[in-house]
């Protein structure tokens, strides 16, 4: 038997004269009443039970139910009120902070969440050479796109100005303007081109 919080609709107070349990499907109302009376000394006024059956899920072996999603609920009426501990959302700010500190100290809830996030990132991004890194040229943020556009525009203007200066100097010397002559000056001051990671797979058309 597992004690759970009563279902309370929004805006309605919590009913302290009811207790909700999740029990195995083989347990009956008489078993619940006898257990509460013999072990805990709790007197009950009524017991309502209902079954929750797991839906069908498609698997490689066909359609199957999930046993952990199938359970039985028992709503027990109490003679003496039982006040379930307040939820964190219902506590005052000071008490909520103390409760969160106590939970973190004893159960490391936030630490477990951080470890879960790190593991999910590791499984998604990979490690080492197999890691997936979202570099700026392939990012989709507006700031990255604008920065890349500005960098390419600046490189294009630099190449054009270098070519114009080289052509002007060749004409002043009376030499013939040729692309092979102005090619080195065009790339002057520009970063070296990036080499492909896999050059062996490239084929010429």
- Give tens-digit pLDDT for 81-132: 988 877 787 788 999 899 889 988 898 888 888 888 888 877 776 666 656 5
**200 has pLDDT over 90:** no
Return the structure tokens found at 165.
């200066």
- Give tens-digit pLDDT for 122-151: 777 666 665 655 555 555 667 777 888 888
Phi, psi of 84 (to 5 degrees): -70, 145
Of 143-147, 170-174, 180-184, 190-194, least confident by mean pLDDT is 190-194
- Give tens-digit pLDDT for 50-59: 998 888 888 8
Contact between 34 and 74 (Cβ < 8 Å): no
CA dihedral 141, 145, 146, 151 (to 10 degrees): 140
Give which of 149, 117, 154, 123 is closest to 136, Cα–Cα.
149
CB-based burial label for 76 (10 Å; 0-12, 13-18, 19+):
buried
Contact between 185 and 160 (Cβ < 8 Å): no
- For the chain, the average pLDDT equals 81
pLDDT of residue 199: 47
- Give tens-digit pLDDT for 27-42: 999 999 999 999 999 9
**187 has pLDDT over 80:** no
pTM for the model: 0.47
Which H/E stretch holds residue 43? none
**Angle in degrees, 0-180, between the axes of helices 93-107 and 109-125, rounded to the nearest 10:** 60
Beta-carbon contacts of 1 under 8 Å, excluding residues fewer than 6 positions away, are 21, 22, 23, 27, 32, 35, 74
First to last CA, the chain: 72
Residues of the chain with pLDDT > 90: what percent?
22
pLDDT of residue 131: 62
For the chain, the residue count is: 205
């Amino acid at each position: 038997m597992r004690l759970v919080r009563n279902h309370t609709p929004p805006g309605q107070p919590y009913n302290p004269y009811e207790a909700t349990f999740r029990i195995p499907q083989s347990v009956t109302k008489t078993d619940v009443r006898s257990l509460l009376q013999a072990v805990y000394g709790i007197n009950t006024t009524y017991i309502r039970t209902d079954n929750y059956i797991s839906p069908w899920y498609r698997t490689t072996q066909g359609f199957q139910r999930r046993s952990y999603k199938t359970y039985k609920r028992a709503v027990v009426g109490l003679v003496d009120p039982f006040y379930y501990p307040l939820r964190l959302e219902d506590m005052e700010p000071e008490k909520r902070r103390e409760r969160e500190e106590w939970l973190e100290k004893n159960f490391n809830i936030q630490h477990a969440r951080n470890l879960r996030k790190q593991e999910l990132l590791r499984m998604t991004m990979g490690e080492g050479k197999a890691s997936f890194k979202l570099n700026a040229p392939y990012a989709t943020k507006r700031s990255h796109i604008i920065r890349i556009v500005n960098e390419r525009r600046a490189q294009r203007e630099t190449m054009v100005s270098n070519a114009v200066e080289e052509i002007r100097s060749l004409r002043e010397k009376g030499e013939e303007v040729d692309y092979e002559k102005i090619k080195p000056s065009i790339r002057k001051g520009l970063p070296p081109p990036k080499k492909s990671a896999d050059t062996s797979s490239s084929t010429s058309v």
